[in-house]
Each structure stands twice: as structure tokens, then as C-alpha cells.
Amino acid sequence: MRQLAVTNALLRTHPDHYDLDDYEGGVARWCTGCGDNAILAALQRLCRDRQLPPEKTVFVSGIGCSSRFPHYMNTYGFHGLHGRPLPIAEGIKIRRPDLDVFVTTGDGDCCAIGTSHWIHALRYNPDITVVMHDNGVYGLTKNQVSPTSPRGLRTNTTPSGSPLTALNPLTVTLGVTNVSFVAQCVDWMPEVVHDIVAAAHDHQGLSFIRILQRCPEYMDGHFEPWIRDPERLLLLTHEDGLQPSPSTSSTYRNQRDHDPADLAAARVIAETTDPIPVGILYRNDDVPCYEDLRRADHRFDPEEIRAVVDEELDRFTIWPTGAAGS
């Protein structure tokens, strides 16, 4: 009977099944029509599908519209500094490989102020899922140009239009040593977003997903031509990659078979901006994870520390004359 009581107590704290609402935190305060809402729904669905224990799941974000994300999840969340979610996530993972760590970041957070962390996180390759919400504009600070803004975009800091060509996050990512998973999708294809975040989560290593996302406030109508013409999306399909449902396939008929193991082909596809490639561009399961290289799961043992500290002190010790160890 007592054992049964203990089991019951455990069951209360570890429910045997999580529903979608078990992952729902605060009410999302994004604008109506903002693509972030679709991404939130996809990630909550992923948590439910994979039955991730909320207490073992951490969403880390930077600053920006998309970085409000962790507030809307009922998991652990870390809403930190502009540009810095990646090193925070790496730090979490270095001693806690048992935690499922997600990073939600934006095009400003990741591709401007946090660029160096982006490059180096790819190289460290910790086992985290990075979702880069790319709406091509700064929203929270009210309409400034972003590195991924299209050339000519008029914003408060580029009133006569952005003079620069947009940075392509896919080619950058695919050029970094140790890159192990790169995918792209668009917020208006919820089924594909879900399938891709699921594949990303299941990948061992850093999964980088760029999600092109509508901003109804400052980029209203920007993606309309692509939404209205499914031919302007290039669906990358493969038995080891995205396998769209028949209904998706019947709408998005511009498809190409692409093996995610083929880095050279992935780089060529990444150069394409119109049509927009959607799918898994690259996956390599053989890149070691940083936390594995650094023995993240080592259990600290006070006696082991004592032994090593004593051994080290021995190296520097001057023993009194006649004492042991001299």
C-alpha cells in the first residue's frame, strides 16, 4: 500500500500524458496575423507529440518580438539579452544534457547583434533546436531595417529604401564548419512547419531552422506574391527529408528531390531566393555535439575533487624538512 502511495505521488508530478494546454503559458501578445503565432502552435504541438516533460524543457530567447516566445510556453524559459540566447543555451546544455533546449530568435537577434554567437554555435554544435523567426524587419523597436530586409525596403532608418542586398542566412549557415542541420519553411504552411521542427528536434546536434514569417505591422503584404502563387515555393522532398502529405503535394507542385546529406547541392539551393526553398536542406548526424566532447554528463564526486586538489597541491608543496613527501 505504501509503495502504491509513493507511486501515486510520482504520478501527480509526472503526468503520464501531456495535452497541448500543458504547454501553454501566458496569452500571446503578438499582433493579429503575426507569423509568430503559427510557430508557437507548431512548437507546442511538437512538445505534445514528443511528450516532452515541461520541467525538462527550456526555451531560451533573446530580445525582439519573437523572443517573447518563452513567456507563452509552460516550460522553463529564459528571456535573456539581445543577441545572446545561443551562448546561454550552450551554457545550459554543457552540464545538463538531460534538458531539451530550444532557442527562439529573430533576424535582428541572430543575424545582427548576435552574429558571432550564431557562427560559433554552429561550430560547437550543441544538441539544441534553433528557430530563427525571420520577418525581415525590426518590429519591437518599431520598424527599422534588418540584415535580411529586402533591398529598397523603406523603414524608419532607411526612409529612402535600404541600399543593401539582404543577407542570406542559409548560405551563411551552410558555410560554417560543423553545421549539422539546416532547414527553411514559411509560417503559412503549418503542417510543414510542424514536420520541420519535429525533424529538427529529433536531430542530434544544432538544428537551425529559418522560418520566413509575416509581419502585418511593418511588412504588410510582403509575402503575398509567394502566398498567392504556390509555384514560387520550391518544396524539397526526400525519403530522409521532408515528406509532404498528399494535400500539401497537390497544392505545392513545384518540388525537387533533394538528399539532405548532399552539402554541395544544399549550398546551391540555398542561393535560391525565388522560388523560396522549403524543406530540409542539410542534415549530418555524424557531427559530434559539444557537450559530448566536453563530457557534460560527468557526475561530480567530492572525493574525486579532493583527490585531484590534493594531487595538485602536492605539486606545489614544500614539505617541512623530514616530513613525508619531500
Rule CB under 8 A: is residue 175 a binding residue for another protein?
A: no
Q: Print the binding letters for residues 107-146 with another protein: x by CB under 8 A, - otherwise.
A: ---------xx-xx--------------------------
Q: Which residues of 76-93 are buried (b: 16+ CB within 10 A; e: fewer)?
A: bbbbbebbbbbbbbbebb
What cell was used for 71? 513567456
The binder of another protein chosen from 64, 87, 106, 205 (CB under 8 A): 87
The binder of another protein chosen from 99, 200, 269, 281 (CB under 8 A): 99
Q: Least distance to another protein from the beta carbon of 109, Å?
A: 13
The binder of another protein chosen from 75, 125, 146, 173 (CB under 8 A): 75
Rule CB under 8 A: is residue 316 a binding residue for another protein?
A: yes
Rule CB under 8 A: is residue 1 a binding residue for another protein?
A: no
**Which of residues 221 and 302 has its CB atom nearest to another protein in the complex?**
302
Q: Please name which of 246, 251, 255 lies closest in space to residue 229, comparing C-alpha atoms.
A: 251
Count of residues in contact with another protein, rule CB under 8 A:
64
Rule CB under 8 A: is residue 300 a binding residue for another protein?
A: yes
The binder of another protein chosen from 77, 139, 147, 244 (CB under 8 A): 77
Rule CB under 8 A: is residue 288 a binding residue for another protein?
A: no
Sole residue written with cell 550552450: 90
Sequence-distant (6+) residues with CB within 8 A of 206 are 121, 122, 124, 125, 126, 127, 128, 130, 179, 180, 181
Segment interacting with another protein, rule: CB under 8 A, options 67-75, 132-140, 163-171, 205-213 = 67-75
The answer to whether the beta carbons of residues 215 and 187 sit under 8 Å apart is: no
114/132 Cα distance (integer angstroms): 12
Rule CB under 8 A: is residue 26 a binding residue for another protein?
A: yes
Pairing of strands 276-283, 207-212: unpaired
The binder of another protein chosen from 31, 41, 81, 265 (CB under 8 A): 81
Rule CB under 8 A: is residue 65 a binding residue for another protein?
A: no
Return the H-helix or E-strand segment holding 46. Answer: helix 36-50
Rule CB under 8 A: is residue 20 a binding residue for another protein?
A: no
Which residues of 32-154 form beta strands (DSSP E)? 57-61, 76-79, 100-106, 128-134, 137-138, 144-145
Pairing of strands 137-138, 144-145: antiparallel
Return the H-helix or E-strand segment holding 257. Answer: strand 255-257
Rule CB under 8 A: is residue 188 a binding residue for another protein?
A: no
266/256 Cα distance (integer angstroms): 12
Contact set with another protein (CB under 8 A): 13-14, 25-26, 53-56, 58-60, 63, 70-71, 73-81, 84, 87-96, 98-99, 116-117, 119-120, 294-296, 298-302, 304-306, 308-310, 312-313, 316-321, 323, 325
